[in-house]
Chains A and B, each alone.
Chain A
Amino acid sequence: MPTRPVPRREFLEKCITGGFLVGAAAVSQTRLFAAYNEAVQKAAKPTPPEVLGPFFKKGAPNQTNLRVAGEPGLPLAISGRILDARGEPVHDAKVELWHADHRGIYDVHGFRYRSKLALGNATQYRVETIMPGHYPSRPVQHVHYLITAPGCKPLITQLYFATDPYFDGDPDRNFAKGGVVANRECVRPVMLLDENTAPRTAVTFDLVLEKA
């Protein structure tokens, strides 16, 4: 995210080319400058797309607790904000996510580890689930996402985990290994929590949508 001060000349040029100087006579240049800098600093890079994958299933329930009683798996909380490219919160988003179980198997007969969250006025999402397993045909842990929201382009992406042994402890260097992961930004740090109970993990993954 760029934070460098914008030179006054460059700022004015941007305002002129962007058409922002219409009616600006009554606004001081200082205020204009501050507004512009604020916008630049809030701006967010759109989340990069990844492939949908072959195991998307329509009709997933709107559920925030994806854990299944009695099924093994390291507990994982995933949360994040839904933003547009200006950094503004996006309302009425639908966040669909699905992943394999701890063995690496997708549920094609039911909806285990599948959810379609209808966020309404909320602009953040959170689910409680488990860390997905590895499977030989795609040996990296991942969670699939499909996000839609009014006025925004649909986004298909995936979340990966920096702790995944697949990255050999160095996701910066190894994220593209084998052509499985397209974007480093989708590999997120994992927080390991142990509050005198069983260990659990948490990941933050903001979703930044492009305007339609």
Chain B
Amino acid sequence: MRTFFWSLVATGALVATASAATATDRTIPLEAAATDVAFAPDGRSLYVVTAGRNLLQFDVAAGRVERTYALDNDERRPGVQVAAGRFTTVTSAGALRLRELKNGNAVATFSVPVARARIGTVAAASDGSLLAIAGGDPAAASANIVHVVDRTGQPRFRFPAGIGAMAAMAFSPDGGTLVAASFDADIRIWDVRTGTLVHCLEEMPLAMFDLDFSRDGRLLATAGADQTIYLWDTKTWRIVRRLEGQPETVRRLRFSPDGTRLVSGGMSALDFEAPVKVILWDVASGRSLRTWETAHRVNALAFSSDGRQVAVADGSKQAKVWAVPN
């Protein structure tokens, strides 16, 4: 980390203000659109990474930015993997870089063989022991591959992954399963202990844009262009429930830590800068409990560890924290 800034000074515009909706709702103005958000395990801080190459640590209760870490100029697309205490960036040379959340220090930088050195979607196991990295297959122009590597970049497996770029990937909470949703509309499920493809869910006609496991690993939620959230039983890999009502493409979704709720965020396929809905769902009944609105398409969602707050980053230059109704 070349530069370390304290609080608001260096970025100038990082003054946080509380919105009027409830005592704990927050709006965080940013110097660039946020690409990812994640709460610290203690729930006190929210990490926000931006397209402007900054990592902010935001004190939710105090409503102010505690620290800002500036990334290097060659880094882009930062994503927070908070459970492992790290976050990832992709360098312009096509390498993946891991940094510590607590001090911003780079702990590893490594490359994987993907076409034109363009790393696509990245996912991390919850303990940080494994990373999945998607990209084009250098040997076949219209094919894609997923590399599974350990935290130092040592390869474990290399999976053929269909013909579309990868929309989203996630490890199961026990770290034994990797699920990947491709723009070719198939969902592939690999056993990362044996390196084998165990299922390919082909029944979805349209691509799923995001997916998330419930914390107990029993359910997988997927959603995408058809505006429906699908809940899959991860033992049978059958759909057990559909949540309908998002008025746009579903771009992001996350389970609450106790698995009883789910939050989804939209995207206008016509205009990424059009306002969209963020919906809180009751998983058991499939009913929507609360609807918010964001200015632009939703880039990231996160629940706090107690499930009482949800953070959202959209394409506009702000992140928000909302109180979740009981």
* Interface residues in chain A, defined as those with a beta carbon under 8 Å from any beta carbon in chain B: 48-49, 51-59, 103-106, 108-109, 135-137, 146, 153-156, 210
Contacts and interface: CB of A to CB of B under 8 A. Distances in A.
A135 B297 CA distance: 15
B140 A153 contact: yes
Contact of B164 (A56, A103, A136, A137): A56
Interface residues of B, number: 28
Nearest to B162: A52
Contacts of B202: 58
B303 to A, nearest CB: 25
B117 interface: no
Find the residue from B140, B165, B206, B271 having the highest chain A CB count within 10 A. Answer: B206
11 contacts: A49-B142, A52-B165, A55-B225, A55-B269, A56-B207, A58-B204, A108-B226, A135-B269, A137-B272, A153-B141, A153-B143
Contacts of B204: 58
Contact of A146 (B163, B207, B209, B225): B163
Q: Ordered nearest first, which 3 A-B pairs have the shortest CB separation?
A: A49-B141, A52-B164, A156-B142
A39 to B, nearest CB: 23
Contacts of B207: 54-56
A52 B165 CA distance: 7
Nearest to A52: B164
Contacts of B268: 137
Interface string B171-199: 00000000000011100000000000000
A56 B269 contact: no
B263 to A, nearest CB: 21
A135 B270 contact: yes
Given A54-B183, A54-B209, A105 B140 contact: no
B273 interface: yes
Contact of A57 (B163, B206, B209): B206
A53 B183 contact: yes
B325 interface: no
B143 A56 contact: no
B205 A156 contact: no
Contacts of B98: none
Given A58-B206, A105-B270, 4 more contacts: A52-B184, A55-B207, A135-B270, A156-B164
Nearest to A46: B141
Given A56-B183, A137-B269, A155 B142 contact: yes
B125 interface: no
Given A53-B183, A108-B225, A154-B163, A136 B272 contact: yes
A153 B167 CA distance: 22
Nearest to A157: B142
Find the residue from B202, B270, B272 having the highest chain A CB count within 10 A. Answer: B270
Given A49-B142, A52-B183, A56-B184, A108 B206 contact: yes
B270 A104 contact: yes
Contacts of A51: 165
Contacts of B185: 56-58
Contacts of B272: 136-137
B225 A137 contact: no
Interface string B122-155: 0000000000000000001111000000000000
